[in-house]
Amino acid sequence: MSAYGAASVKAAPDLVRIRLVVERMKPSPKKAFEAGQANVASLRGVLRRHDIPDAAVSASRLRLTSEWDGYGKEREFLGYKCEASFTIESRNLDGLQQLLIEVVDAGVNRVDEVDFDVHAKGELRAQARRAAVQAARAKALLYAEAAGVGLGPVLHIQDVDPESVGNERYRGHGAGGATAEEDLAPGHVVVSAAVVLGFSLAAQ
C-alpha cells in the first residue's frame, strides 16, 4: 500500500531578496555605457550605506541593445539601451522601505521582485519532511485498520514536490499538514514537504 503525506512549517522571514534593473537609453553606445555605469556606481553607494556586503549582491554584466519603435518601413530608431540587473539580499527587513526609496532615487528603473525568505530553510525543510512521513504513516495505519490488515515495514520512500508539474494528483490528499489558510498569512514564510511511503501488508 502507498500513502501520501504532506506537511508545512511556518517561520517569520529574516531575509529579503530584491531583483532590480537599471536601464539607460542614449543616442550612442558610448553614452549609454557611461550612463549605465554611473547609475550602477550610485546604486552600489546606496547598498554600502545600508551595510549590504558585495557578497550579498549578484550583478549581471552591462548589456547593450538597439531599441526601435514600430515595424517595417515605419520603424523608428530610438537609441541604444544599456541594462544591468541585480539580485540583492538583506537581513535588515525594517530598513527595506527606505532601501527601495534610495535605490530608485539612485537610478533603478525597475523593481521586478521582492521576496521574503529564511536563512534556516534547510532546517525547516527537514522538520516538514519528518512531519510528512508521520502524516503518511498515520494515514497508512488508518487504511490498514479499516481494511482489516496489518501494516508491515516500509518498502519504498518517494520524495515528492507537490507544487511541481505532474504531481497534481497528490494535492489535497495530505494528512495533518496540508496547506491551510493561515499558512498564507502575511509575514510568514511557508516551507513544505511531501512524501509517498510504500508499505507491505499482512493478514491479521
For the chain, give the mean pLDDT.
Answer: 87
**Phi and psi of 56, rounded to 5°?**
-95, 10
pLDDT digits (tens, 9 = 90+) for 123-175: 999 999 999 999 999 999 999 999 999 999 999 999 998 666 344 444 444 44
Regarding predicted confidence, which is higher, 187 or 142? 142
Regarding predicted confidence, which is higher, 170 or 197? 197
CA distance 58 to 83: 14
**Phi and psi of 196, rounded to 5°?**
-115, 120
The pLDDT assigned to 187 comes to 75
CA distance 134 to 78: 61
DSSP letters spanning 96-146: HHHHHHHHHHTT--EEEEEEEE-TTHHHHHHHHHHHHHHHHHHHHHHHHHH
Among 40-49, 113-122, 185-194, the minimum mean pLDDT is found in 185-194
> Which pTM does this prediction carry?
0.70
CA distance 183 to 197: 25
Q: Work out the pLDDT band at 27, boundaries 50, 70, 90.
A: very high
CA distance 120 to 116: 13
The pLDDT assigned to 79 comes to 95
> What domains does the chain contain, in order, with CATH numbers?
2-12+120-203 (3.30.110.170), 15-117 (3.30.70.2970)
Whether residue 97 has pLDDT greater than 90: yes
**Phi and psi of 19, rounded to 5°?**
-110, 120
Q: Work out the pLDDT band at 182, boundaries 50, 70, 90.
A: very low
